[in-house]
Every structure is written in C-alpha cells, then in structure tokens.
C-alpha cells in the first residue's frame, strides 16, 4: 500500500468524527502524544479503541497505554477485521507494517490551500492545516502564551513546517539546558513516557553512529582526513571508524566536545579548513531557516568535500501538534535540496533505524564529467 492510497480520516475542520467510523473495530497506530490525542478524541466522540500498535510495543508490555494493550506490528495479522488509524507524525515507512487487505486511515488534516511560501524551495504550492504547539512547548518555550500555528505542507519539495517560526529568544528558552535534568523534569509533566536515556543515551548514540557509517561506507570508502560535524553537539555522532580523522564540531551551544574532537564556534574559522567530510545530522528539523544552514555548509565545501545529511523522515499531519521538530522532511526533500542548492546527490535513502533518512552530496561542478 502507498501513502496516497490511505484514506483520509473523516473528521471535519472542528475535529468532529464522521460517525461511520464507530461501526468499525479500531486500532490506533502510534502511542505517545499523537496517539493519546487521537484516543481522547475518539473516546469523547463515543467510539471505542481496541488496542494500540507500536514498533516499540515492548515498552508498554506491563503498563499498556491509556489503559489498553499495545501490540507490535507483526501481530497485526491477528486483527485483520479491524481498521487501523495512523495517528502520528507520519513516517511513510510504517505503512509497510500493515497488510494490504486491512483498512487504513490516517489522522490526516483537513488541508486547505495555503499559498504560503515554502521555507525550503520557495514555491507557493502549499497547503495547510490548523495546529498548535504541544503543552510542553507552550510552557517552556512560550511561558504559557503560545502563538497560533498551522502545519504547512509543500507539494513540491514535501517539506512540512510550522507556520509560526520561533524567535531566537524562544529557541533560547527551549534549548538552554537542553535534555538536562530540569528539561526532563518539565517535559515529563506533560509526556510521562519521555525517556532521555532511551533517545540520547550511549546505546542510542552508538546506534546512530553505526547507522551513519553503514549508509556512508560504500561512497566514503576511505578514512576522511578532516571531518566537521556541523551542529553536532559534542562530536559524539561521528562514527568510531573515523576516530583517527581530524574531528571537529561546529556548535554554538558551547558544550564541551568529547575527547579527540575539537570545537569551532564560528563560521569564519571553519572556512580555514579543507574539509573531506561535513556532517549535519538531526539539526534541520529544529531550526527556523534550514536553507541558511545548507548555504553555510555549501560555502565550506570544496570540489572534493562530501556532505552527509541525516534527518528524521516525517510527514507532519493535521491534528498533530507542533513539537521540537518544527520541520518535517521526506526522501523527495533530500533530492530537492540537491537541485535547489546545486549539489549532486551521490546517494539517498532510508537508514536502518526507524524513521531516519540520509543523503550524501557533492558540490555540482558545472556539468563537468570526471
């Protein structure tokens, strides 16, 4: 089944369900914020949900979610007569978990023509849906006074983005002490399932390094001499296989880099180097102007520099609140970035880990054939 074949969910602009759904037996795909949000709405409207399905079902083995059971995707074949409603930031990959003969709905938005300018490709081929910031951000980022926002979706480059672009000051409140103790405490008030260690602990970090290396090694078959991880926190995401490279991290947070990695805190200094590889991983989904970062990276590239870009693959849908990822990308966006910024796409595709996509680029050399 393809995304385009998934039926839209029968809600109107106010989120009222088409009552037909309640003649069906329903399972929600996805727990957490959006799963709970959808579950609450269905309950309120008098419907009944049998179970949740989630790729991380084992986390809910004992507790369930919202008081009901959570099953892993492979168990879906015991639920052939049920309808599945996909609740969340839509990872296009999950559709592969659902058998072709099952009825699938997505908690899609009630898209309206938008005409807003796309933040990435600049075209006006956009549609939008009303949204809002999650309660955690309402408190931490906006001090209880959050602005209204929509999800805007570009039909050209497939980027999704929050129409409200947070200010420097608002980002400052969100990211100062990011993932620290106070951050975790505040977030758990609204999202009790939030687990810093699971997402960013040593095991998760090691998995990210392995996935990045697995994606890169057929194109980057040598050990790069000088590597820059642009926005790479403490440099901990550079694959271990490149431990003997000169490793640098460009980071404005001021976090001390790990052993063996040197920090560069301004672009001018980064220009002085001849980079073999520039990495940019899981940054663009957080920033107000992703195009500016790509331009900056491009300005640091020579003809031989490779640029490894890694992002979550997300298709932001309606009835889904805006969280820290104010931008969502698909594989098509990776290709469009090449076109827009004059980069050759040497490789692009899915990473092994759930939800991630990546690409390797090189500066386009005016059509010269090697």
What would the two tokens of residue 297 be? 């990276």
Produce one character per residue of 197-218: b if its CB has 16 or more CB atoms within 10 Å, e if not.
eeeeeeeeeeebbbbbeebbee
Round to whole Å and give the CA distance between 40 and 276: 50
- What dihedral angle (degrees, nearest 10) is formed by the CA atoms of 15, 18, 19, 23? -120
Q: Minimum Å distance from CB 295 to Zn ion?
A: 16
In the complex with Zn ion, the residue whose CB is nearer, 120 or 134, is 120
β strands within 60-187, DSSP E: 70-71, 83-86, 103-106, 112-113, 126-131, 149-154, 160-162
- Give the x-and-dash track for 153-172 against Zn ion (CB under 5 A): -x-xx---------------
Q: Minimum Å distance from CB 260 to Zn ion?
A: 39
In the complex with Zn ion, the residue whose CB is nearer, 154 or 216, is 154
Round to whole Å and give the CA distance between 306 and 249: 16
Round to whole Å and give the CA distance between 96 and 362: 31
In the complex with Zn ion, the residue whose CB is nearer, 125 or 246, is 125
Q: Minimum Å distance from CB 331 to Zn ion?
A: 14
In the complex with Zn ion, the residue whose CB is nearer, 175 or 341, is 341
Q: 197 in helix, strand or coil?
A: helix
In the complex with Zn ion, the residue whose CB is nearer, 104 or 152, is 152
Residue 121 binds to Zn ion (criterion: CB under 5 A)? yes
Q: Minimum Å distance from CB 147 to Zn ion?
A: 23
Q: Minimum Å distance from CB 46 to Zn ion?
A: 39
In the complex with Zn ion, the residue whose CB is nearer, 98 or 336, is 336
Q: Minimum Å distance from CB 129 to Zn ion?
A: 16
- Give the x-and-dash track for 1-40 against Zn ion (CB under 5 A): ----------------------------------------
What would the two tokens of residue 105 be? 């709905």
Q: Minimum Å distance from CB 69 to Zn ion?
A: 40
Round to whole Å and give the CA distance between 334 and 163: 21
Binding residues for Zn ion restricted to 137-156, rule: CB under 5 A? 154, 156
In the complex with Zn ion, the residue whose CB is nearer, 154 or 343, is 154
8 Å CB contact between 277 and 306: yes
Residue from 22, 24, 27 nearest 46 by CA: 22
- Give the x-and-dash track for 333-362 against Zn ion (CB under 5 A): ------------------------------
The DSSP result for 251-299, as a single string, is: -SS-PPPPTTEEEE-SHHHHHTS--SEEEEES-GGG-S-HHHHHHHHHH
Q: Minimum Å distance from CB 96 to Zn ion?
A: 26
Binding residues for Zn ion restricted to 241-270, rule: CB under 5 A? none
In the complex with Zn ion, the residue whose CB is nearer, 199 or 295, is 295
DSSP code of 7? E
Binding residues (CB under 5 A) for Zn ion: these are 118, 120-121, 154, 156-157
């Amino acid at each position: 089944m393809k995304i385009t074949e998934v039926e839209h969910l029968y809600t109107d602009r106010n989120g009222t369900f088409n009552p037909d759904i309640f003649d069906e037996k329903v399972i929600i795909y996805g727990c957490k914020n959006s799963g709970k949000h959808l579950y609450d709405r269905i309950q309120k409207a008098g419907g009944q949900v049998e179970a949740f399905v989630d790729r991380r079902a084992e986390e809910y083995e004992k507790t369930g979610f919202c008081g009901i059971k959570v099953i892993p995707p492979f168990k879906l074949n015991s639920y052939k007569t049920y309808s599945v409603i996909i609740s969340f930031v839509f990872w296009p990959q999950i559709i592969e978990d659902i058998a072709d003969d099952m009825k699938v709905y997505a908690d899609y938005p009630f898209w309206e023509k938008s005409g807003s300018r796309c933040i990435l490709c600049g075209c006006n081929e956009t549609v939008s849906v009303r949204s809002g910031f999650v309660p955690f951000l309402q408190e931490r980022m906006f001090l209880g006074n959050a602005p209204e926002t929509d999800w805007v979706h570009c039909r050209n480059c497939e980027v999704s983005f929050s129409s409200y672009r947070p200010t420097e000051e608002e980002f400052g409140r969100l990211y100062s002490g990011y993932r620290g103790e106070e951050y975790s405490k505040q977030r758990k008030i609204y999202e009790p399932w939030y687990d810093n260690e699971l997402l960013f602990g040593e095991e998760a970090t090691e998995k990210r390094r392995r996935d990045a290396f697995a994606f890169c090694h057929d194109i980057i078959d040598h050990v790069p001499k000088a590597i820059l991880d642009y926005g790479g926190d403490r440099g901990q995401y550079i694959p271990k296989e490149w431990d003997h490279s000169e490793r640098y991290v460009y980071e404005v947070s001021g976090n001390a880099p790990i052993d063996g990695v040197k920090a560069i805190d301004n672009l001018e200094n980064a220009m002085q180097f001849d980079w073999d590889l520039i990495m940019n991983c899981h940054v663009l989904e957080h920033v107000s102007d992703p195009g500016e970062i790509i331009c900056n990276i491009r300005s640091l590239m020579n003809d031989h520099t490779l640029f490894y870009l890694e992002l979550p693959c997300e298709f932001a849908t309606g009835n889904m609140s805006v969280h820290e990822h104010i931008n969502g990308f698909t594989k098509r966006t990776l290709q469009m970035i090449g076109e827009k910024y004059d980069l050759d796409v040497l490789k692009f595709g899915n990473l092994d880990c759930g939800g991630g996509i990546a690409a390797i680029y090189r500066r386009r050399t005016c059509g010269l054939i090697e």
